[in-house]
Amino acid sequence: MTDKDIDHPEWRPEQLRRAIEAAGVALWSWNVDTDMLVMDKQGYKLWDVTREKPLTFEHLSEKIHPADRDRVRAAFSATRAVVGPYEIDFRIMVGPDVRWVSARGQGNDADIAQRAMTGIFLDVTGRKQAEEGHELLAGEMSHRVKNLLAIAAGLTQITSRSSKSIDDMATKLTQRLTALGRAHDLVRPLPGKQGNAALLGDLFTVLLAPYDDEAAFAGRIRVAVPRMGVGEGAATGLALVIHELATNSLKYGALSVREGTLDVSGIMIGEDVQVVWTEQGGPEVSAPEGKSGYGSKLLDRTMSGHLGGTITYEWSSSGALITLRLNGNRLSL
């Protein structure tokens, strides 16, 4: 059988239209002389603009996110001189929402029909959100690994203070690392392995146990919070917050020196609980400078989103004072 024997049905306009609509593709045509822009129904819907009055690229670009606007304008102008296909991704504002759009077309306006360049718009919001989520997860994983290495070094230093021999130190360090493993299970629980609820005080005690000293320095971590249950969902978020605060204290604060102490106290305020994390006797601390790191972003996101609460900081020469305001209703979930 030859190619001539094969029947090649041609695409009919209605078939092409259905395929374009199914793919969520928006068509556009831009007159490079008048700046007039025409789109199909999907395009006007994507950009949330009316088709009842003339539309120019300049007017449409006002809906582009301010951080991307100059870049997109420059890119579209540059396509007139670039031969071949092009693609650019950018954000647009649709009411209070932000959408990601991918503009694709063919560059070089030499000999174009009726001075109009054509191309497509694609809504790629889902893909961009997934990419941002992967980048955030990768950053958090890197942050956690660095923290674990810092914790291991800090626990080794703590253990060496009260150990009488190498064997004694090895035994105590193993116990601390085992306790750290139990604490880590609370931060990242396995499905079906965590109970329905834990007591608030027990949660703090278990998570902070690996950082407490022994012998002459035993009991430098004190926990006194209201007796209340914490639901399985809230326990994971709260455990992550406690773990992050303890890691920071071990790296920079009171738990980094043997004279340092940590006091965790709490009171009920209506249905909410306020927990105050007070460090004393450690190095002088000051407010972080520059952009927030992954640790700070993780704390803020977990407190405001997962726990429906707030976290505030006070920095002084005597140590950090951190206040957690926890939503009582969220804690029970």
Domains and CATH numbers, the chain: 11-123 (3.30.450.20), 129-331 (3.30.565.10)
208, 223 contact by CB (below 8 A) = yes
Q: Angle 319-324-328 (CA atoms, 0-180°, nearest 5)?
A: 160
Which conformational region is residue 111 in: left (phi greater than 0), alpha (psi within -120 to 50 degrees), or beta?
A: left
Structure tokens at 220: 């430098």
Encode pLDDT of 259-312 as tens digits. Answer: 889 999 999 998 899 999 999 988 888 777 766 666 677 788 888 887 888 999
- Measuring CA to CA, which residue among 268, 280, 182, 187 is closest to residue 225? 268
Polymer length in residues for the chain: 333
Amino acid at 179: A
Distance CA 59, CA 254 (A): 57
Percent of the chain with pLDDT over 70: 76
The pLDDT value given to residue 60: 87
The pLDDT value given to residue 21: 72
Encode pLDDT of 52-102 as tens digits. Answer: 888 888 888 888 899 898 888 888 777 766 667 778 889 999 888 889 998
Q: How many CB atoms lie within 10 A of CB 191?
A: 5
Distance CA 321, CA 318 (A): 9
